[in-house]
Chains A and B, each alone.
Chain A
Amino acid sequence: MPDPAILLAGVLNGLLAGGIYVLVAVGLTLIYGVLHIINFAHGSLLMLAMYAVFYLWRLLGIDPYAALPMVIAGSFAFGFVLYRLLIGRYNHGRDENILLITLGVSIVVDNAALLFFGGDTQTIDVTYAGSFVELGAAFLPLPKIISFAASLLLCLILGLYMAKSDTGKAIRALARERQGARLVGIDVDKLFAVSYGIGIACLGAAACLLMPSYYVTPSSGHAFVLVAFTIVVLGGMGSFVGAAVGGFIIGITESLGGLILGEQLGQIGISLIFILILLLKPTGLFGGAR
């Protein structure tokens, strides 16, 4: 068993990693909550947003954090248009068709990225990359602390938007009862597109927060999606609070598992949580409270 100071540092590392997982999972859970489908294009669209952040930095010199508003807006627009022109138009009212379309989008986007961007690893080297905060045994890199704080803030803003705004209330109504929402005059098709757009905007934000400390290749988005699925199942499919809490639980589990069992066996913790939650509480920690 590692030294308690190392374990504490591991918990802090896990919390920082969990911050990013939360954003990816919130987008996934929102799309599931409203559209009742798993967005198979999630990893591919995250990768696309990461390339957007990379090229904004490479071509225009825009810092990844400064690019947040631009990438969030662009990702929202991309998600909205993608839903309007493709997913909404060709699903023929069947949820399973949406699933297949997002799978198709994923394959097309991955291969298009390989064609246009190449398979090379792209990174952003910001001046503050080497800055850190020393906390006991932990050296917390500044980019990860900023990403963690920004992620929490964005989740809070999104939560408030969903709770207080008319659009947010309409989305929640739609998530609860699709037919009822239509009966009270909610433009269901438009809100589907808005919800999908918000889900993809979360990926845009995650991309900005990831790039100062991660890299992008045409397959790099998928590394985060499996973890995001686990978080969504753990927190409860469609639950915002669940995604947030689940993100931190998975981040810390992964970190401590790696420290105690070794990097490879450490991933077992995530799979164990996934199995246990399916066995003991299939609706997830906050699934019933939606």
Chain B
Amino acid sequence: MTSQGKFPVSRRGFVAGSSALAAGTLGFPAVLRAQPAAVKVGMIHPVTGFVAYNGQQSRLGGTMAVEDVNKAGGIKSMGGAKLEALLGDSQSKVEVGVSEVEKMNEQGVAAYIGCYQSPVGIAASQAAAKYNTPFLIDVGASDLLVSRGLKNVFRLKPGFGVCVDDGIASLGALNKAAGGVAKTAVIVHESGEFGTGTAKLLAGKLPSIDIQAKELIAHDNPTRNFDNIALRIRSLAPDIVMMSNYGNEYMLLARTLYQQKVNVAGFFSILGGGFNYKFVKEMPDVAQYMMDVNHWFNPRSAQAQALKKRVEDGGALFTFEVYLTYTNVMLLADSLERAGTADKEKLTAALASSTFKAELMPYGPTRFVNGQNQGGRPATMQALKGDIEVIAPAEFASAKAVFPKPKLN
């Protein structure tokens, strides 16, 4: 059956239509051929599970960065190739993180960024090593991540070793200025690779600043109740309590210590997962005077302040996950630009020789040694009057530290 009678076509119309068809069939393929293939970037984060919030924050930073790179014209040395984010959910589980690596490899991923949790990052980057695919650790504290001799793994941020060293230096300086009021500490840590590794390093290095670790208390994730830990701490009567745990447990522990009137000279955390703007604003009494050694943006960077405004205008918090993943996408884009190709070996070599300037971070020049950036440094912060102030290093400090903190009534 035809419908010729219903759609009469004039000669002029036929010519116009034929021209358009010719342009469509002949012209567009030419345009399409001119578009370089997108560079696929695998972003693996725990967007569900017990650290879902942190994973979602990382994903937010990563997708914003991809958007910014593409808006700025993509990778110019590759003919303006766009970045394409492949989003993976590790579900806070090691095996799922690894399966995301395999899945993305089949989709032709050029590099991975992830994974927030150290155990997931360790296994996922190992899986990526089979394919020689570069793996950028955006968040992941364990130093095991970069000490296995894997050539494909790069970490821009400092690991817990550097954070502990800087934390010990900060605490030592504070304690010295306060006349050495702190002589003993109790360390409360989550029982995984991150918390246990950090706690062991701390316990070994505290004596160098004349503080003895009285006890290391491990807890699971999640922990329903910290009452007994608070009780144990009160019975040990340390001068300071040191913490190293993920967000929910950090917050619950802090609140329990406040409720149980644990009266010490200071609470000092290394990579405290819950130490952020939300915590200090929603629980200002609990957070007051708490200190944390953690990743922090450069408050003097106009680019960091502009990104902070964009993130906050969108209703999200400018947490370290956001700007660390954002910065890692920028590092990857910079390396692609220099390599001029997404070829894995050339991209790995470009990353290894990178001198990328991490504009958002208070870092020195990027220089990777065995995959670890030597310029990455944490900052020491303190919650003061419902806000977070940088108290060290001195060149970025926005306030003077209060230590020892006033005793509770």
Contact = CB atoms under 8 A, between A and B. Distances in A.
Interface of A: 2-3, 6, 9-10, 13, 16-17, 111, 114, 118-121, 123, 125, 129-130, 132, 137-139, 141, 143-144, 213-215, 217-220, 223-224, 227, 254-255, 258-259, 262-264, 266-267
Interface stretch (B11-19, B74-82, B147-155, B215-223): B215-223
B217 A123 contact: no
Contact of B258 (A3, A9, A130): A130
Contact of A217 (B47, B53, B229, B260): B53
A258 B255 CA distance: 19
B252 A10 contact: no
Interface string B215-259: 001111011110111111011000000000001100110010011
A119 B55 contact: yes
Given A10-B231, A121-B247, A213 B282 contact: no
B260 A121 contact: no
B47 A6 contact: no
Contacts, number: 114
B283 interface: yes
18 contacts: A9-B231, A10-B228, A13-B225, A118-B53, A119-B52, A121-B53, A123-B283, A125-B286, A129-B258, A129-B259, A132-B259, A137-B235, A215-B252, A217-B50, A223-B224, A259-B228, A264-B220, A266-B228
Chain B: interface residue count, which band?
35 or more
Contacts of B191: 264
Q: Which 3 A-B pairs have the closest CB atoms?
A: A119-B52, A119-B53, A141-B259
A141 B52 contact: no
B49 interface: yes
A141 B260 contact: yes
Given A13-B225, A130-B259, A215-B251, 4 more contacts: A139-B260, A141-B260, A213-B259, A263-B220
Contact of B248 (A121, A143, A144, A255): A121
B56 interface: yes
Chain B residues touching A, majority SS: helix
Nearest to A217: B248
Contact of B228 (A118, A143, A218, A258): A258
B103 interface: no
B200 to A, nearest CB: 15
Contact of A132 (B234, B261, B285): B261
Contacts of A218: 48, 52
Given A120-B278, A213-B259, A2 B235 contact: yes
Contacts of B232: 2, 6, 259
Given A130-B258, A215-B248, A215-B252, A13 B231 contact: yes
B156 to A, nearest CB: 24
A17 B230 CA distance: 14
A17 B55 contact: no
A220 B225 CA distance: 12
Interface of B: 47-50, 52-56, 191, 217-220, 222-225, 227-232, 234-235, 247-248, 251-252, 255, 258-261, 274, 278, 282-283, 285-286
- Output the residue of B228, B234, B260, B283 with the most chain A CB within 10 A: B228
A259 B235 CA distance: 11
B48 A263 contact: no
B222 A123 contact: no
A96 to B, nearest CB: 27
Contacts of A129: 255, 258-259
Nearest to A138: B231
Contacts of A264: 191, 218-220
A221 to B, nearest CB: 11
A217 B278 CA distance: 14
A6 B231 contact: yes
Nearest to B49: A219
Contacts of A137: 231, 234-235
A103 to B, nearest CB: 17
A214 B231 CA distance: 18
- Output the residue of B55, B234, B274 with the most chain A CB within 10 A: B234
A133 B230 CA distance: 15
A262 B252 CA distance: 18
A186 to B, nearest CB: 39
Given A217-B52, A259-B228, A119 B218 contact: no
Contacts of A220: 222, 248
A151 to B, nearest CB: 15
Contacts of A263: 217-220, 223, 228-229
A10 B232 CA distance: 10
A267 B220 contact: yes
Contacts of A254: 225
A263 B54 CA distance: 25
A104 B286 CA distance: 39
A119 B282 contact: no
A17 B224 contact: yes
A125 B228 contact: no
Contacts of B55: 119
Contacts of B47: 119
A127 to B, nearest CB: 10
Contacts of B259: 129-130, 132, 139, 141, 143, 213
Given A130-B285, A132-B260, A120 B231 contact: no
A111 B48 contact: yes
Given A17-B224, A139-B260, A264-B218, A119 B48 contact: yes
Contacts of B48: 111, 114, 119, 218
Nearest to B221: A223
A281 B222 CA distance: 30
A258 B278 CA distance: 30
Contacts of A255: 225, 227-228
A144 B259 CA distance: 10
A137 B261 CA distance: 12
B232 to A, nearest CB: 7
Contacts of B258: 129-130
